[in-house]
Amino acid sequence: MNMETYPPVLRQLSHNHINPPDPDEEDDLQDPDPVPIIDLEKCLDKDNKKLEEVCKDWGIFRLVNHEVPLTLLTQLQELAKELFSMPFESKETACKGTPINYFWGTPALTPSGKTPGGAQNLNWVEGFYLPLSQLSHFNSQLPTLESFRYLLMEYERHVSRMAIRIYEGIVKKLEWNLKGTKSYLSTKTGTVRVYRYPQSHDIKIGWGMEAHTDSSVLSILNLDDQVTGLEVLKDDHWLTVKPISNTFIVNLGDIMQAISDDKYKSARHRVKMNKSKERISICYFVFPDDDVVIESSKYKPFTYPEFKAQVHEDIKNIGYKIGLRRFQQNQDA
């Protein structure tokens, strides 16, 4: 692993914490894989109760039968690895003056290199934030980033299709009027974050990503199918999510929990650094339209921009996200 390709704040990961790849080393994995499986083609089936049960009990599931070309998923992972392996200065310079945000180390996903709340909140991660609706409006001067941008424009068609179908299945289970709730999920808000986590065997130095819930309606994750790291909290136990080729991991976010009146749960998850390999993940997030008011019997009315602003304020002032508790009815968080 070439630490010189990482931002300076992450280069303090001492080589004493890095192990050479060991082909015989096995991570602690449950067998069989603990995450429930949902077939995308059956999401809208009336008699399919599994989606409802999984949203209630887990808030996370593995998606199969998604019809996304495996070649596209492989190309995205390969290009992401090429992109991250470039010199730090090249990555930073290439994003200036574009809608793409290159970030590292902080839960707030800002490019400051500073850590809100103190050094203990440092996440061992670097990444790119790409608002999908803006990708067609510019060209990157960095060939690798330009190729990645072009692939993401194709990828967007697939992930937005999946998000809509999953959402429609959830709406059916909640017996909502779909016409009146469509704006709760707006594909024009779709963003992709591409993450790279360094390898390390020493958990004492911190996490790739600390335990959190997503602020989205839905998140759809394309994992590196060779490297473990993602863990999900279930019944007060952390379970390792297996990297399985040609599948996606979907988790519900805070907005879905709010609009379901807490019937469904926002999955709490974290990322542990792998002992012998770097790890790449590509995650699609989708949100409500900015002017849509989230109404719920459990929470005060709020819009997503208000929720996002509160999250960033909490991270800045106290170092971590409070999230939905800030908006609970008749309760001061």
Residue 97 pLDDT greater than 90, yes or no: no
Query: What is the torsional sign of CA 174, 53, 228, 152?
Result: negative
pLDDT in tens, 182-196: 678 999 999 999 999
Residue 175 pLDDT greater than 90, yes or no: no
Query: Could you give all domains of the chain from N- to C-terminal order, each with its CATH number?
Result: 33-292 (2.60.120.330)
Residue of higher predicted confidence among 129 and 2: 129
Residue of higher predicted confidence among 296 and 22: 296
CB contact at 8 A, 229 and 274:
yes
Q: What is the mean pLDDT of residues 95-122?
A: 64
List, in order, residues 6 or more apart from 195 with CB less than 8 Å away: 125, 126, 127, 208, 209, 271, 279, 280, 281, 282, 283
DSSP string of 174-204, one letter each residue:
HT--HHHHGGGSEEEEEEEEEEEE---S-GG
Q: Which two structure tokens, joined as six digits, stand for 142?
A: 């960095």
pLDDT of residue 315: 85
Residue of higher predicted confidence among 276 and 121: 276
**At 179, phi and psi to the nearest 5?**
-60, -35
List, in order, residues 6 or more apart from 326 with CB less than 8 Å away: 310, 314, 333
Whole-prediction pTM:
0.90
Q: What is the mean pLDDT of residues 148-162?
A: 95
Q: What is the mean pLDDT of residues 293-308?
A: 93
Residue of higher predicted confidence among 275 and 186: 186
Tokens 């960033």, residue located: 312
Going by their DSSP bridges, the two strands 37-39 and 60-64 should be labelled as parallel
